[in-house]
A and B are shown apart, each in its own frame.
Chain A
């Protein structure tokens, strides 16, 4: 299907670098490589190594001088990347922020419109793009009704309809469940068969992409650290990449030892529980489960099964839609048996919750104050608070950031901070919503080790997760929440 005359693009970086206007350090520096038309390249590097910046640069969306400073050249087909918009198509990590219009067909057509493609030509392009990514929905299908994997395939189709010679994928599967990951990977494969293009993909979890790619480029502080065939680069650099947080096959992160003692009593019991975020619209029903001291309970299931809603209900934040959620006398400790009736302050020592989006729960201006929010609400003295905060700062390697604004932390640091803030008041039960989502291998290993330690101290842990490895590493009891059955 090269009848439309689209040919894969050539890419070249010559001593390229970029510094965001708000930062002192360069995101990337002295990057040089040449990618021939039709190559399929995986770009690797530690968190914060500037991989996304490179893709944004190639897509020409980094912005002008007010956004940052650049050095060297970044060329697509020999011309500066900024001047070749439309030649490169970019798909980003977050499925929700990429849906632009309300109807699926309109969304795919959006890029063609912007490039000035005549109307008569747009709709055939839309149809063939949707077909290429295997998204079989009517053109007027509401985009908000799509799953995460479908939204990413819609974004792929929107890019494909623009007929780019260079396809740029920035962690396109980081926010998806295992089924969604495979969905998107297969769609990319099919797309490249239908329309050959140069591919550059950034991804932490590389076993998914290895079968598809022909070359690996590793970027880091000194520019390009390694460049070559996948087997060769991973053989020579595997251990180092794994230490930097990349998921390298054969270099799985360390996992903690099994629990030291058998699970204790049930602290929370759900019987015939139905959960709902909006009154009168239950998303899951008939749930029977026990949350035990000294044990990890992993709640798994497909997107939209109501896992987060169940988590919020177990945490005493949402009222049960039906059935009962009962706290044991030991957990209730004099309060009502029903957690939703507890005061906000009473939750602190009983059930802690770590939200999926750290920004939802950040309250203070510094990392140290963030840890003090709970203890202060409990009326602890400043000395006690200082002791407790210091201990947590050291334990979670946040001590060098004590005075930093929580909003400025990296994704992994924010995650560690929100967990630390939740355990600062030593709740007997800790509920976490997708704690390892989108995290690199290093943060993953740290979180798992921390949860194992809490479990062995006798806390009950509930973790909602897509990540089967987390459940396995923590020797978790599994609770599978079905679909909308």
Chain B
């Protein structure tokens, strides 16, 4: 289970508090969501690649983890190119398809935007350990411990669900009902998995309560979640990336605020 990996990572960014990684993803994403132009996204993307060098992952792993993003971005672009708002010269006009100068520009802007927003989130979160994230959410952001730790413990059960699903599949073959009725069988298995997970959840809740979870009184944290210079620096880097991207877009006149009047 990849989400549950706990191996230690090296690299300048790997050791940084997950809350800062969450913050920097937001800092980069929010300005890029507010505008639709190719310049801001390209500049942000270029700067992000410098950031990725310090993320503590190799190129091989980079491609393995990010390929869905590289696949999704051009597909989004293609859709916009075919069906996006028409303006300027029309190149193709066939039935509902209309590829124009305007829709192509929009497509390029959208594709770059998807990459610029999704890549840093994926790359930064490869090095996030769920336990450290929970510590950060509880101690730095002061979210309720009950909620944060409940979610963390629940996450650990994902691996068990996968095993259950495989066993349910094999059991259906053994019972002689796996030859047809695929959809009905799927629904039956989904229900069985639900029952199994409720039972597991109830057992886990009892085990947690038996260890004093939810007991009255203030909870302490065994691991300190630090938010220091390195974390603020990462946030500053994120702010700089969006700042430079916005400045470049405004300077070249490409800035296109999606909520404002169109240029």
- Which A residues are closer than 8 A to B by beta carbons? 56, 59, 61, 85-86, 89-92, 94, 96-103, 106, 109-119, 122-123, 126, 140, 142, 144, 155, 158-159, 162, 277, 312, 315, 317-318, 343-345, 347-348, 352-353, 355, 357, 359-363, 373-374, 377-378, 407, 421-422, 425
B179 & A119 in contact (Cβ 8 Å cutoff): no
B175 & A363 in contact (Cβ 8 Å cutoff): yes
Chain B residues in 8 Å Cβ range of A374: 175-176
Of A59, A109, A277, A362, the contact of B210 (CB 8 Å cutoff): A59
Chain B residues in 8 Å Cβ range of A85: 212, 215
Q: List 13 A-B contacts (CB under 8 A).
A: A97-B200, A100-B156, A102-B130, A317-B174, A344-B173, A344-B178, A344-B179, A348-B175, A353-B170, A360-B192, A373-B176, A377-B177, A407-B195
Query: In B169-206, which residues have CB < 8 Å from any A CB?
Result: 170-179, 188, 192, 195-196, 199-200, 203-204, 206
Chain B residues in 8 Å Cβ range of A91: 210
Chain B residues in 8 Å Cβ range of A126: 222
Query: In B152-178, which residues have CB < 8 Å from any A CB?
Result: 152-153, 156, 159-160, 164, 166-168, 170-178
- Least Cβ–Cβ distance between A91 and chain B, in angstroms: 8
B6 & A140 in contact (Cβ 8 Å cutoff): yes
Chain B residues in 8 Å Cβ range of A117: 220
| Most-contacted residue by chain A among B129, B207, B219 (CB, 10 A) | B207
Top 6 A-B pairs, shortest CB-CB distance: A114-B212, A344-B178, A111-B211, A97-B203, A109-B222, A377-B176
CA distance A158 to B212 in the complex (A): 11
CA distance A139 to B99 in the complex (A): 60
- Further contacts, 13 of them, CB under 8 A, given A98-B207, A374-B176: A61-B210, A100-B208, A101-B131, A102-B129, A109-B222, A114-B215, A122-B220, A353-B171, A355-B174, A359-B195, A363-B172, A421-B175, A425-B176
| Most-contacted residue by chain A among B129, B173, B217 (CB, 10 A) | B173
Chain B residues in 8 Å Cβ range of A361: 171, 174-175
- Least Cβ–Cβ distance between B17 and chain A, in angstroms: 17
Chain A residues in 8 Å Cβ range of B207: 92, 97-98, 100, 155
State the main secondary structure of chain B at its contact with A: helix
Closest residue to A352 on the B side, CB-wise? B174
- Least Cβ–Cβ distance between A356 and chain B, in angstroms: 9
Chain A residues in 8 Å Cβ range of B160: 96
A119 and B176 in contact, given A100-B211, A103-B131 (Cβ under 8 angstroms): no
Of B6, B203, B209, B224, the contact of A119 (CB 8 Å cutoff): B224
- Least Cβ–Cβ distance between B261 and chain A, in angstroms: 51
B218 & A373 in contact (Cβ 8 Å cutoff): no
**Interface flag for B223 (CB, 8 Å):** yes
B192 & A359 in contact (Cβ 8 Å cutoff): yes
B164 & A116 in contact (Cβ 8 Å cutoff): no
A90 and B210 in contact, given A144-B159, A317-B173 (Cβ under 8 angstroms): yes
| Most-contacted residue by chain A among B8, B160, B164, B192 (CB, 10 A) | B192
Query: In B31-77, which residues have CB < 8 Å from any A CB?
Result: none
**Interface flag for B4 (CB, 8 Å):** yes
B211 & A362 in contact (Cβ 8 Å cutoff): no
Closest residue to A340 on the B side, CB-wise? B173
CA distance A106 to B156 in the complex (A): 13
B215 & A86 in contact (Cβ 8 Å cutoff): yes
B164 & A360 in contact (Cβ 8 Å cutoff): yes
**Interface flag for B213 (CB, 8 Å):** yes
A102 & B156 in contact (Cβ 8 Å cutoff): yes
A355 & B222 in contact (Cβ 8 Å cutoff): no
Chain A residues in 8 Å Cβ range of B178: 344
CA distance A421 to B175 in the complex (A): 8
A315 & B4 in contact (Cβ 8 Å cutoff): no
**Interface flag for B221 (CB, 8 Å):** yes
A116 & B211 in contact (Cβ 8 Å cutoff): no
B174 & A315 in contact (Cβ 8 Å cutoff): yes
A61 & B192 in contact (Cβ 8 Å cutoff): no
B172 & A123 in contact (Cβ 8 Å cutoff): no
Closest residue to B214 on the A side, CB-wise? A114
A119 and B175 in contact, given A94-B203, A103-B131 (Cβ under 8 angstroms): no
A101 & B168 in contact (Cβ 8 Å cutoff): no
Chain B residues in 8 Å Cβ range of A98: 204, 207
Of B4, B164, B210, the contact of A89 (CB 8 Å cutoff): B210
- Least Cβ–Cβ distance between B138 and chain A, in angstroms: 10
CA distance A100 to B195 in the complex (A): 20
A277 & B166 in contact (Cβ 8 Å cutoff): yes
